[in-house]
Amino acid sequence: MATISTTPGSMSSTSVQELAQKWLQQDRDPETRKEIQDLLSVGDDVALESRLRRRIAFGTAGLRSSMQAGYAHMNSLTVLQASQGLATYILGQQSSHSVPPQAVVMGYDARYNSEKFARLAAAAFIAKGLDVLWFGELVHTPMVPFAVEHFSAAAGVMITASHNPARDNGYKVYWANGCQIIPPRDKDIATAIDLETDILSWDHNAIETSSAVRNILAEARGAYKRAIQILARPAKHGNMLPFTYTPMHGVGLPFMQEAVEILGFTDHGMYVVAAQANPDADFPTVPFPNPEEKGALNLAMEEATASGSQLIIANDPDADRFAAAEYLDDGRWHQFTGNEMGALLAAYVLETSSVERDQMAMLASTVSSRMLQAIAEKEGFRFQSTLTGFKYLGNVAQQMRERGLKPVYAYEEAIGYMFPSVVWDKDGIAAATVFLLARRKWHAEGLTPWRKLQSLFEHYGYFADANTYLISPSPEVTSATFAAIRNSSHGTPPTHIGKRKVRRWRDLTTGYDSGSADGTPDLPVDTAAQMITCWLDDAVFTARGSGTEPKIKLYVEAIGAASSAAAKTIANDVLKDLVSEWFPGLRLAGI
């Protein structure tokens, strides 16, 4: 979501003590003022440099960082600066025919300081002359883009760091179309933020005292529930089966309870992991509150085994992501990967949608499985690949709609799934709803989700991934590493990975694609981001630098193998060769 950039003006030539004094002049939050004052008093210039010399930059989905004092982090001052800059940009986009004031949807989750940051952001919007559409209690992230579209708002802001560690928070921005912002809008907003020097309001109570605030909770929740009801409209296929649910110490439980009510569950149909049921900003039972992380579902598995339920449903803390695990006949739990779940949900949508195949569209990001494309080629609907992130999936889906197509589904391997009839972003509650419907349908056909997945592999081909990441010390190391890769074969890109020949090389950083007639890539180029994709005879992989974390992410997929075991072996072999040949000096970490 965010990178770090230098602050505007003369910051680079200012002494660190002057930077600290400037911070103390601007900051009215007693906690963060004390942090800087304490560092000044002990003369910790290294820490002051780290916190004050460079600032957290506004990226393609807003801001995200650890919560502490300084321009480089999430705190009251940086939230206010971002909000004033965003407000200035919104007002600058008004046409002469606009009827002011415009409104911004404002939401927050259960993390430390989330409500405080949301209140300050609202105060900044009000001070700039915008109305604020306020929920007034915890909501899951998809509720913000949903409300933006429902209320025809100018923008929406959600205070959340999704599944990041407890010390982090973030500022996620949606535009008037209900999608995350994409370039160049993000850069234009960042420019507006850089020009904000004087804070107009520190009023935490403006929400209660200003006439520019409207509480939208009841209407938004009701409209969202109706959207889920429409999504769940397909005919019932037998009784609902019990399952175990965990919101991972987040905000998902009330929304999931509404979903299961819509689906017709009885009171004992959903077993909730009690220790993880209520919001807790410390996330005490999991090292990382991300269902993808190894061990994150251990407690849920224990409780599911005790209750006798054979399915686990999980959301991350802001409930925009969704994961599931099934207890198999051989006595082990299988947690579905994002790509496996992506295929399962696509299959159900295909089986139940009333949209004609020649109008239907589904999307996946370029780092996700090629299986959805294989299904599209066989079944006759339109498939579209996009750059990484739902900021692209949502906006490209809307562009397809403008061309007369009907987008019905999109997904990304990082357990994110979008159903455009509900919201133009990933939604863990909508995804769980569809999956439970699918499970009920397949059960009536004598299949479990696992067995359904095997039938899809048999019909469309075997696909298996081997995804992981490496720890990169700095953006400079990441850039140097990719530069060395591009010149590793006598000044040209490598021609082989292990014994496998590279059949196609696509570099979205330099803008070259060997698979096109003129060398132009089939996806947009971003010179500020590192991303290389290679096609081999039996696999495809992507290596990219993370925009939010100190990582280089690797996505490897075997395609067209004779069996699941063979596909997994191929994927693992390619990953092993890739790590040893391209990244020998970096530390490998498993997802």
Active site residues: 162
Helix axes 253-263, 428-444, angle to 10 degrees: 30
Rg (CA), the chain: 24
User: Which of 533, 531, 455 minimizes the C-alpha distance to 497?
Assistant: 533
Q: Do β-strands 270-272 and 243-246 pair in parallel, antiparallel, or remain unpaired?
A: parallel
Nearest to 92 by CA among 198, 197, 192, 193: 192
Q: Is 451 helix (H, G, I), strand (E, B) or coil?
A: helix
Neighbours of 136 (CB within 10 A): 17
Cα dihedral 135/216/82/199 (nearest 10): -90
Instruction: Compute how many other C-beta atoms are within 10 angstroms of the C-beta atom of residue 404.
Output: 7
Dihedral over alpha carbons 179, 180, 184, 185 (to 10 degrees): 80
Angle, vertex CA 330, rays to CA 325 and CA 336, nearest 5:
20
Q: Quick check: 170 and 164 in contact, CB under 8 A?
A: yes
Q: Which H helix or E strand runs over 471?
A: strand 468-471
Provide the angle, in degrees to the nearest 10, between the axes of the packed helices 30-41 and 45-52: 140
Q: Show Cβ contacts of residue 368 under 8 Å, excluding neighbours closer than 6 positions.
A: 338, 339, 342, 411, 412, 413, 555
Q: How far is CA 279 from the centre of its chain?
A: 20
131 neighbors 102 (Cβ within 8 angstroms): yes
Concatenated DSSP letters of 80-130: HHHHHHHHHHHHHT--TT--SPPEEEEEE-SSTTHHHHHHHHHHHHHHTT-
Q: Of 196, 43, 71, which is closest to residue 125 (Cα–Cα)?
A: 196
Q: Quote the DSSP letter at residue 429.
A: H
Q: How would you class 98 by CB atoms within 10 Å of its CB: exposed for 0-12, middle for 13-18, buried for 19 or more?
A: exposed
CB burial readout 459-498, b (16+ within 10 A) else e? ebbbbbbbbbbbebeebebbeebbeebbeeeeeebbeebe
Going from the C-alpha of 66 to that of each of 2, 62, 70, 78, 452, the distances in angstroms are: 11, 14, 10, 12, 41
